[in-house]
Amino acid sequence: MKVRSFTLNTRKEIISKITREVLSLFKVEVIGRRGAYDYEQLSVVNKRLPQAADAVEGERVHIQTTLLLFRADGSCLAYSRTAVGKRDELERAAVNRTIKRNLYQIFVEELGMPQAPWGILHGVRPTKIVHRWISYGMEEEAIVKRLMTDFACSEQKARVITPMAFRQLPFLKTSDQKTISIYVGIPFCLTRCLYCSFPANILPGEKQLDAFMAVLRKDLEAARDAVTQYGFTVQNIYIGGGTPTALPDRYFADMLQMVYNAFYGPQVVEFTVEAGRPDSITPAKIQAMAGHHVTRVSVNPQTMQQRTLKLIGRQHTPEAVVDMYKALRAAGIPEINMDLILGLPGETADDVRDTMEKVTALAPDDITLHALALKRGSRLKLIMEERHVDLPGDAETRRMSEVAMSFIEKHGYVPYYLYRQGYMAGDLENVGCCRPGAEGMYNIQIMEEHQTILGIGGSATTKVVDFARKRMKSSFNAKDLVTYLRDVDIYIEKRRQLLEEAYGKQGETNEC
């Protein structure tokens, strides 16, 4: 649907945001004065209706949403829906949800738009809602039904995230207030993939690498001192990027040694390195990972279709992926992840079927299915705007997901963590699936935000959970390498302040 203008009867930023999320979901374009259009104006009017005298908490919210479509001849189409909040909803949450639910219903029931797999669940972490309801004592079937009614979530998606949340409970219970994870960001890649919007830099020369290693050491030592000061237990170490194995052998070994010396101990449950792609791996790097007790390595073919690999800028073959996988297995790496992307340019559901056959034949411990997220920062976005590359449509991308999940089920993998991003192909999700017993602890902890995570290195994020105040605060290292190298002291100080706010100064107590 194309409209010349859009109006909303409020200036509240959150209402504007959630309204535009629904318009984006149904591909409503506001085109201004350019080109053909379907309606002169689209207007959304939200009105709070009087509450019942005996209403409690969320039930105090009673919202009527009206959508108006004005034609060029002055005529108007008007559609309305009303909804009431739920008893266990905070008032502001009930307002936001009912407005989104009303608007979604109008588009589907009145304007004939196709239902979205996730309904109005636009958040990054939909399982957090499920965890909240579990804490209220709700059973699995009741949660599935409520996701479908309150959020218009499809039964298929509801039956993915609900049992997933229950499966996560034992893993989340392994962590207390002083149990943390470490994330180390190595922001380098050998080449930049066509679809990539991640904050990564093409591998620089030795002079800048030396500068990065010196700054990384300083960052690591400050984080190590914080672990000692607050008596933290490091449960997981995750080295990501970028592509950490893009570092030359000597630098990679030195980096691994620094991380190991700073944080590794008998309490570490999981030590992960993203190796990414075969053109970044060498026998020396595999030996270094095995020698430093790395427990999990990510191998990310993205696809096993050679023509697609060439198109997206990957300098390797499907056969090289197999060789890399076998070399890691031979070195005794306990668990191997493999990441795939659904919705890559030029691919079909049959291509995904072929990729899944080749990947499942290797029997990795963990397969993560990503839906292509077309971000503003990717070269693919720019090329798409020039119409040089065609992407699969939403319907085909969803067929890809169905094919991939059929292989997941057939080979005994179970979904164990999930997150969503904006602009995802087919309105899908990123879902991690593993053989039972091979769940990635770090993946669960970071997605459910139950644990403090110290971010170190380029573009890393620190997330500090303040258990006393029941909130989480974050600080972000610069995405730009030059800025990170210059301002590392600022990022170390921001991290220190967050920890002090949540955990108090060393030696202080909360006793009267």
Which CATH number do you get for residue 90?
3.30.160
Q: Is the pLDDT of residue 58 over 80?
A: no
Question: Do 358 and 319 sit in the same domain of this protein?
Answer: yes
User: Which residues lie closer than 8 Å to 361 by C-beta, 6 or more apart?
Assistant: none
Q: Is the pLDDT of residue 111 over 80?
A: yes
Do β-strands 2-8 and 39-48 pair in parallel, antiparallel, or remain unpaired? parallel
Question: Do 161 and 235 sit in the same domain of this protein?
Answer: no
List phi, psi (to 5°) of 181: -120, 160
Name the band, by pLDDT with cuts 50, 70 and 90, for residue 203: confident
Given this model, what pLDDT does residue 306 score? 95
Could you report the per-residue pLDDT of 377-413, keeping only the tens digit for each?
Answer: 556 655 555 545 678 988 999 999 999 999 999 999 9
User: How much is the average pLDDT of 222-242?
Assistant: 97
Q: Which of 100-109, 300-309, 313-322 has the highest mean pLDDT?
A: 100-109
Q: Is the pLDDT of residue 511 over 50?
A: no
Question: Do 251 and 195 sit in the same domain of this protein?
Answer: yes
DSSP code, position 49: P
140 occurs within a structural domain: yes
Name the band, by pLDDT with cuts 50, 70 and 90, for residue 478: very high
Given this model, what pLDDT does residue 129 score? 95
User: Which of 79, 114, 149 represents a domain boundary (last residue)?
Assistant: 114
Query: Tokens 């196709």 identify what position?
Result: 114
* Sign of the torsion angle spanned by Cα atoms 27, 33, 36, 37: positive
Could you report the per-residue pLDDT of 159-190, keeping only the tens digit for each?
Answer: 999 999 999 999 999 999 999 999 999 999 88
Give the residue, 387 or 141, on which the prediction is more confident.
141
Give the residue, 201 or 458, on which the prediction is more confident.
458
Given this model, what pLDDT does residue 225 score? 98
Question: Do 323 and 226 sit in the same domain of this protein?
Answer: yes
List phi, psi (to 5°) of 3: -130, 150
Could you report the per-residue pLDDT of 305-364, keeping only the tens digit for each?
Answer: 999 998 888 888 999 999 999 999 999 999 999 999 999 988 999 999 999 999 999 999
User: Which residues lie closer than 8 Å to 482 by C-beta, 6 or more apart?
Assistant: none
User: Which of 96, 114, 132 represents a domain boundary (last residue)?
Assistant: 114
Question: Do 92 and 188 sit in the same domain of this protein?
Answer: no
Given this model, what pLDDT does residue 268 score? 98
* Percent of the chain at pLDDT exceeding 90: 82
Given this model, what pLDDT does residue 57 score? 59
227 occurs within a structural domain: yes
Name the band, by pLDDT with cuts 50, 70 and 90, for residue 491: very high
Q: Is the pLDDT of residue 51 over 80?
A: no
For the chain, give the longest Cα–Cα distance.
Answer: 74
User: How does DSSP assign 133-201, residue by residue?
Assistant: HHHTT--HHHHHHHHHHHS---HHHHHHHHHHHHHHHHHHTT--TTEEEEEEEE-EESS--TT--S--E
Which amino acid would we find at residue 81? R
Give the residue, 427 or 152, on which the prediction is more confident.
152
Name the band, by pLDDT with cuts 50, 70 and 90, for residue 197: low
Identify which of 254, 253, 300 has the alpha carbon closest to the alpha carbon of residue 274. 300
State the Cα–Cα distance between residues 337 and 434, nearest whole angstrom: 9
Given this model, what pLDDT does residue 508 score? 45
User: How does DSSP assign 442-465, residue by residue?
Assistant: HHHHHHHT-SEEEEEETT-EEEEE
The mean predicted confidence, pLDDT, of the chain is 92
Query: Tokens 């829906």 identify what position?
Result: 81
511 occurs within a structural domain: no
Question: Do 79 and 127 sit in the same domain of this protein?
Answer: no
* Long-range contacts of residues 460-464, Cβ cutoff 8 Å, at least 24 apart: 460/183, 460/184, 460/185, 461/183, 462/494, 462/495, 462/498, 464/498, 464/499, 464/501, 464/502
Identify which of 510, 499, 500 has the alpha carbon closest to the alpha carbon of residue 452. 499
Question: Do 272 and 355 sit in the same domain of this protein?
Answer: yes
Do β-strands 461-466 and 471-476 pair in parallel, antiparallel, or remain unpaired? antiparallel
Question: Do 329 and 280 sit in the same domain of this protein?
Answer: yes
Question: Do 240 and 274 sit in the same domain of this protein?
Answer: yes
306 occurs within a structural domain: yes
508 occurs within a structural domain: no
Q: Is the pLDDT of residue 296 over 80?
A: yes
Burial class (CB in 10 A: 0-12, 13-18, 19+), 207: exposed
Name the band, by pLDDT with cuts 50, 70 and 90, for residue 512: very low
Peptide bond before residue 185 is cis, with ω within 30 degrees of 0:
no
* Percent of the chain at pLDDT exceeding 70: 92
Give the residue, 233 or 374, on which the prediction is more confident.
233
- Domain with 235 in it: 179-495
512 occurs within a structural domain: no
State the Cα–Cα distance between residues 498 and 222, nearest whole angstrom: 14
Could you report the per-residue pLDDT of 17-36, keeping only the tens digit for each?
Answer: 999 999 999 999 999 988 89
194 occurs within a structural domain: yes
How many structural domains comprise the chain?
3
- CATH number of the domain that 472 lies in? 3.80.30.20
User: Which of 114, 149, 165 represents a domain boundary (last residue)?
Assistant: 114
CB 87 within 8 A of CB 118: no
Name the band, by pLDDT with cuts 50, 70 and 90, for residue 107: very high
Given this model, what pLDDT does residue 507 score? 41
Question: Do 144 and 285 sit in the same domain of this protein?
Answer: no
503 occurs within a structural domain: no
Given this model, what pLDDT does residue 387 score? 46
Question: Do 454 and 339 sit in the same domain of this protein?
Answer: yes
Question: Do 367 and 434 sit in the same domain of this protein?
Answer: yes
